[in-house]
C-alpha cells in the first residue's frame, strides 16, 4: 500500500497559497501550511479545504503557526520571509530572511529530516545555501527554485516572438537568480533546431534575442511594477511544483535549479544555478557543460556574487 505523501509549506503568502492549491488539485499529497501569521495560514487552509471538497480532491490541509505541523513531511517548500521594503538595505533584508531560514532549517531537521526541501525565499542562492548549512540535511535534498522560473519567462517571450508553441522550445538558464542569471541562447532549440538557425533565416534578429534575454533578466521586476503590491506568484509556485513532481515521481528530469556544486564549472562548495537531474534520490546528477569564454565569465560573476553573500552572512554574524 502506498502511503499518502505530505508536503509542508513554510510561508502561506502569495506563493505558499498558490502552491497549496496546485498540490491539492494535482493530488500530490496532504498539506501543512505554516506561517507566522497564524490566522492567514488557518484561513487559507480552511478555504482551500472547502475548495477541494467542491472539486472532489482528497488533499487534507492543515494550517497554523506551529512548526510541529511539519512532522512526517516528505517534502517542504519554503517561501517564508519578507520582501525588501523602501528604505531597507540589502543587509537588513539578508539579516531578517536569514533568521527566518535558519529557524525553519532547525525545525525541518527536528520534524522531518528526510524531507526534500525546495527554497524559494530571496535572495535565493544564499538562502538555499544557509538552509543546507543550518539543517545539516544532505546536499542532494536541499535545492533552490529559480532556473525553472527564469526559463519559463525566457520561453514565453521566445514563443511569442517566433509564433511557436512553448512546448516546442527547449532552453535553460545558468547562474544566479536575477541580475546574475546567464541565459544560454547557444543551448536554445525549437523542435531540436538551434536558435541560430532561426536567426540565419531571418525569423528572429539577434537584437530581438538580446532584448528577450534582458527582459527575462528583469522578469521579476516587470511584474512587481505592474502589480504595485507584491511580486510574481503563479509562475514561481508552478515552477516549484515541477521540481516536486520530478522528485516524487522519480522522473530523473533535467531542470535548472540552484543546487550544491561540489566541484564543477570552476567553482567549489556553493549553491548556484546549474542544470541538474532530479529523481527519487533528490539531486541525482549535475550536468556539466563546456562553456564559451563569455558564458564562463558570466557564470563566475554569478558564483562570485553568492560567495560575497556568504561572507556577508559571516560579517553579520548569522
Closest approach of Cβ 229 to ligand APR, in Å? 10
Q: Which of 183, 236, 273, 275 binds ligand APR (CB under 6 A)?
A: 236
* Residue with smallest beta-carbon separation from ligand APR: 13
Residue 182's DSSP bridge partners are 174
Q: Indicate which single residue of 231, 242, 251, 296 sits in contact with ligand APR (rule: CB under 6 A).
A: 231
Q: Name which position in 6, 7, 9, 15 contacts ligand APR (CB under 6 A).
A: 15
In this chain, which of 7, 9, 12, 20 binds ligand APR, going by CB under 6 A? Answer: 12
3-class DSSP state of 63: strand
- Facing residues of 144 across strands? 119, 258
Contact between 285 and 276 under an 8 Å Cβ cutoff? The reply is yes
* Cell numbers representing residue 222 in the block: 516587470
Can residue 35 be called a binding residue for ligand APR (CB under 6 A)? yes
Catalytic residue among 57, 111, 141, 177: 177
Piece of 76-84, 156-164, 221-229, 283-291 that binds ligand APR (CB under 6 A): 76-84
- Does 239 bind ligand APR (CB under 6 A)? Our answer is no
**How far is residue 57's CA from residue 230's CA, in Å, rounded to a whole number?**
29
**Peptide bond connecting 123 to the previous residue in cis, omega within 30 degrees of 0:** yes
Stretch touching ligand APR by CB under 6 A, among 110-118, 159-167, 230-238, 304-312: 230-238
Indicate if 111 belongs to the active site. Answer: no
Contact 286, 153 (CB under 8 A): no
Nearest approach, Cβ of residue 127 and ligand APR (Å): 8
Determine if 147 is a binding residue for ligand APR (CB under 6 A).
Answer: no
Question: What string of H, E and C letters represents the secondary structure of 301-315?
Answer: HHHHHHHHHHHHHHH
Q: Could you write out the DSSP letters of every residue in 16-55?
A: HHHHHHHHHHTT--EEEEE-SSHHHHHHHHHHHHHHHHHH
Cell 531571418 belongs to 202
Among the candidate windows 8-16, 52-60, 199-207, 257-265, which touches ligand APR by CB under 6 A?
8-16
Determine the straight-line distance between the first and last CA of the chain, rounded to whole angstroms: 44
User: What positions carry a catalytic annotation?
Assistant: 177
Residues forming contacts to ligand APR in the complex (CB under 6 A) are 10-16, 35-37, 40, 79-83, 100, 103, 120-122, 230-231, 233, 236
Amino acid at each position: 500500500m502506498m502511503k499518502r505523501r505530505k508536503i509542508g509549506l513554510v510561508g502561506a503568502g502569495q506563493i505558499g497559497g498558490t502552491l497549496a492549491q496546485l498540490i491539492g488539485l494535482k493530488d500530490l499529497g496532504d498539506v501543512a501550511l505554516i506561517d507566522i501569521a497564524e490566522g492567514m495560514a488557518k484561513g487559507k487552509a480552511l478555504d482551500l479545504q472547502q475548495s477541494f471538497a467542491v472539486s472532489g480532491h482528497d488533499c487534507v490541509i492543515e494550517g497554523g503557526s506551529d512548526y510541529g505541523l511539519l512532522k512526517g513531511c516528505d517534502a517542504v517548500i519554503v517561501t517564508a520571509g519578507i520582501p525588501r521594503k523602501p528604505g531597507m538595505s540589502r543587509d537588513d533584508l539578508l539579516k531578517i530572511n536569514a533568521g527566518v531560514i535558519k529557524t525553519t532549517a532547525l525545525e525541518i531537521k527536528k520534524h522531518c529530516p528526510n524531507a526534500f526541501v525546495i527554497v524559494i525565499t530571496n535572495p535565493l542562492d544564499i538562502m538555499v545555501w544557509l538552509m543546507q548549512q543550518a539543517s545539516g540535511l544532505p546536499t542532494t535534498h536541499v535545492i533552490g527554485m529559480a532556473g525553472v522560473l527564469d526559463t519559463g519567462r525566457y520561453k514565453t517571450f521566445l514563443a511569442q516572438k517566433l509564433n511557436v508553441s512553448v512546448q516546442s522550445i527547449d532552453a535553460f538558464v545558468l547562474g544566479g537568480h536575477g541580475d546574475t542569471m546567464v541565459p544560454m541562447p547557444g543551448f536554445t532549440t525549437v523542435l531540436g533546431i538551434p536558435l541560430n538557425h532561426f536567426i540565419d533565416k531571418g525569423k528572429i534578429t539577434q537584437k530581438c534575442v538580446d532584448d528577450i534575454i534582458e527582459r527575462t533578466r528583469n522578469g521579476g521586476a516587470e511584474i512587481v511594477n505592474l502589480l504595485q503590491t507584491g511580486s510574481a506568484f503563479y509562475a514561481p509556485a508552478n515552477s516549484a511544483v515541477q521540481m516536486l513532481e520530478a522528485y516524487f515521481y522519480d522522473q530523473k528530469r533535467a531542470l535548472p535549479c540552484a543546487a550544491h556544486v561540489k566541484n564543477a564549472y570552476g567553482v567549489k562548495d556553493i549553491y548556484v544555478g546549474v542544470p541538474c537531474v532530479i529523481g527519487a534520490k533528490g539531486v541525482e546528477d549535475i550536468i556539466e557543460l563546456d562553456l564559451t569564454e563569455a558564458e564562463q565569465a558570466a557564470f563566475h560573476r554569478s558564483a562570485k556574487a553568492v560567495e560575497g553573500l556568504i561572507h556577508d552572512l559571516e560579517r553579520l554574524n548569522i
